[in-house]
Structure 1
Amino acid sequence: MSRMHDLLSAFAPIWTLTAIGYAAGRGRLLGEQAEAVLGRFVFHVAMPAALFMMVSDARLGSFVNATVIAFAAGTVLVSGLGLLVARRFFGRKTADGAISGMASGYVNSANLGIPVAVQVLGDASFVAQVILFQVLVVSPVILTLLDSGTDRVNTHWRAGLRRMLTMPVRNPVIMASLLGVCVSATGLRLPEAFTHSCDLLGSAAVPTALITLGLSLHTRPEPAACAAPVGRAELGTVVALKTLVQPLIAFAVGGPLLLDLDGPQLLAVVLCSALPTAQNAFIYAGQYGLDTTLARNSVVASTVVSMATLSLAAWALGPSHG
């Protein structure tokens, strides 16, 4: 009972901030353009600041280990499956398929993963490695697919190659992550005034993204031209991939059949894999001019379902059962 209470406490800020955003949208408190403006603020300003500080403070040498490999296997397989299903069965193009793949496999590691890990595992160190993997490996792949999939101009292959090579410069999320890697690798000590400013700015990323998500619940997203509406089957597939298939793959890879992780490590891998879709999927879809319906509904629905799947994982693999 205590563990369930701890999980509910971890979810409380998400529901509270999303509800505040919904109330603000319903009351027209922030104006008609609030969702678009706040989304741009998160993507171009607050999120890059948060990622830069997160990566620059990280120890990259401990990034690759068996637990990260088990988590990565689930993420890569499920994200690829989400992209494949979106294109083959629901007729989505590359960019929308990338959002579907992201909604299927990109976990809410920061604002939910950390409190859940602290409450259930008593330690959030593995979550930091999950964040690094998603920031340095998964995000660039997703953003590359989005960038290429939303390029409406048919260009020569050289221009396309140039566009791909210059994307880190044009994309603030990737640029901030790369700069963070450089600072971490060189051991550079940044001025305290600068890091404090980045910390303040980065701390606005998660709450603003949740407020933006809440705003979107009151307004019906405008679908992109020629985009098919998102049905229950498509949403259900994404949520099932995220909350059920991804942790099951992580368990299969990390369990005795392959990597044979010990009890606490296996619990950490499965627990992090069972986290719901990150609101980043919604922010990315909005900033690339895509229909945000699937991303928005996946965040909300997977967060509801994950309350059960996280509890099940903690019960099944916890100390009393592991």
Structure 2
Amino acid sequence: MSGVFAGFATITVIIAFGVLLGHLRVVDERGHRTLSTVAFFLASPALLFSVLQDSDLSRVFSGNLVAISAAVAATALVTLAAARWRRDDVGRTVIAMMCSSYCNAGNLGLPIAAYVLGDTALIAPVLLLQLLVLQPLALTALDVAAAPGAVSLSQGLTRPLRNPITVASMAGIAVAVAGVEVPAAVNDPIALLGGMAVPAMLLAYGVSLRLGPLPGRGVAPGELGLSVGLKLLAQPTVAYLVGLMLGLDQDALLAVTVISALPTAQNVFVIASRYGRAELLARDAIFVSTLGCVPVVVAIVALVA
């Protein structure tokens, strides 16, 4: 359990530095945009390539993936229905769906998988599901929504190939499947750039907390409550129930339930900032779900384990 608290403590410290930078006006609104843009176009693609090139794909396709996918689909569909009822535009709907279903599998998921579940490989199914399916679909929808004119079918289908995050993810998977070793002269600079991704995302998030409205004041409480409730409560519940139906053993059930209860990922805010869609919703969903994740994960471990 110490890994859970250590992961949250690390994130909190870096976000606090972002708040300080915003408070001292070392980073203003323009600087915040620049930081988010660098994270989106350069650092995040480098990180994803580095992570995925070493992934063990043989452990991905299992009952764990089915349970996690079912939970993601359930929360996304509920969010979609609520967004249609509110008559939200496409961009806000996509970000809302990511807030309720896209979990922090990287800088929180990895330490939790290591110290709570005892195996970092357990995070691979949700990590690859998000990087290879959910994120490309979301980015394509946002690209199409942001296009100034009508988008043809061929343009829509090829848009993922023009997005650096999707391209880097596909390249990493291709290297993993081929089993080739990337030369150090290429891999080392990519790894160095990738090391900037998580700190840049967290700093940009901290700056936004200081420069924007306080959490909870810029978003309708009902919309925020739905996103956080689906993420922390509905998603792990569905994952657990589907896992039971699939006959997963106790360790696998604990894994899919804890992983599904991870908070909304920081890169949802980076994506929202990049496209100028529902930024306050993404920011507040991350903030509230991250705070609420600790007692939820502790309760899951106590009940399921």
Q: TM-score range by the shorter chain?
A: over 0.9
Counterpart residue number, 1:225: none
Counterpart residue number, 2:109: 113
Contact 1:7/1:311 (<8 A) preserved: no
TM-score by length of 2: 0.95
Counterpart residue number, 1:214: 206
Structure 2 unmatched runs, 5+: none
The whole-number CA distance in structure 2 between the counterparts of 1:100 and 1:58 is 29
- 1:148 and 2:144 are equivalent in the alignment: yes
Match of 2:278 among 276, 291, 298: 291
Over the matched positions of the two proteins, sequence identity in percent amounts to 36
Match of 1:85 among 51, 60, 82: 82
Report 1:1-322 matches (<5 A).
3=1, 5-88=2-85, 90-153=86-149, 155=150, 159-220=151-212, 230-255=219-244, 258-318=245-305
The whole-number CA distance in structure 2 between the counterparts of 1:115 and 1:188 is 27
How far off its partner does 1:150 sit? Answer: 2.1
Look up the equivalent residue of 1:129 and give its one-letter code: P
Look up the equivalent residue of 2:248 and give its one-letter code: L
How far off its partner does 1:135 sit? Answer: 0.5
How far off its partner does 1:136 sit? Answer: 0.8
Number of positions where the alignment pairs a residue of Structure 1 with one of Structure 2: 301
Contact 1:87/1:94 (<8 A) preserved: no
Contact 1:25/1:215 (<8 A) preserved: yes
Contact 2:96/2:281 (<8 A) preserved: yes
Structure 1 runs (4+) deviating above 3 angstroms are none
How far off its partner does 1:6 sit? Answer: 4.1
Contact 1:79/1:106 (<8 A) preserved: no
RMSD (Å), alpha carbons: 1.5
Structure 1 unmatched runs, 5+: 222-228
TM-score by length of 1: 0.90
Residue deviations 1:7-28 (CA, integer Å, cap 9, x gap): 2222101111111101110111
Contact 1:95/1:148 (<8 A) preserved: no
The whole-number CA distance in structure 1 between the counterparts of 2:159 and 2:68 is 27
Look up the equivalent residue of 2:128 and give its one-letter code: L
Choose 77-86 or 237-246, whichever is displaced more: 77-86
The whole-number CA distance in structure 1 between the counterparts of 2:145 and 2:84 is 13
Contact 2:15/2:206 (<8 A) preserved: yes
The whole-number CA distance in structure 2 between the counterparts of 1:188 and 1:115 is 27
| Secondary structure of residue in 2 paired with 1:108 | coil
How far off its partner does 1:143 sit? Answer: 1.2
How far off its partner does 1:148 sit? Answer: 2.0
The whole-number CA distance in structure 2 between the counterparts of 1:304 and 1:174 is 29
Higher helix share: 2
C-alpha change, 1:144 and 1:84, in structure 2 (3 Å) is farther
The whole-number CA distance in structure 2 between the counterparts of 1:96 and 1:138 is 16
Residue deviations 1:251-288 (CA, integer Å, cap 9, x gap): 11001xx1111111110000000000001111111111
How far off its partner does 1:220 sit? Answer: 2.1
Look up the equivalent residue of 1:250 and give its one-letter code: A
Residue deviations 1:36-73 (CA, integer Å, cap 9, x gap): 00100110000001111222222323321111111111
Look up the equivalent residue of 2:243 and give its one-letter code: G
The whole-number CA distance in structure 2 between the counterparts of 1:291 and 1:75 is 20
Contact 1:39/1:283 (<8 A) preserved: yes
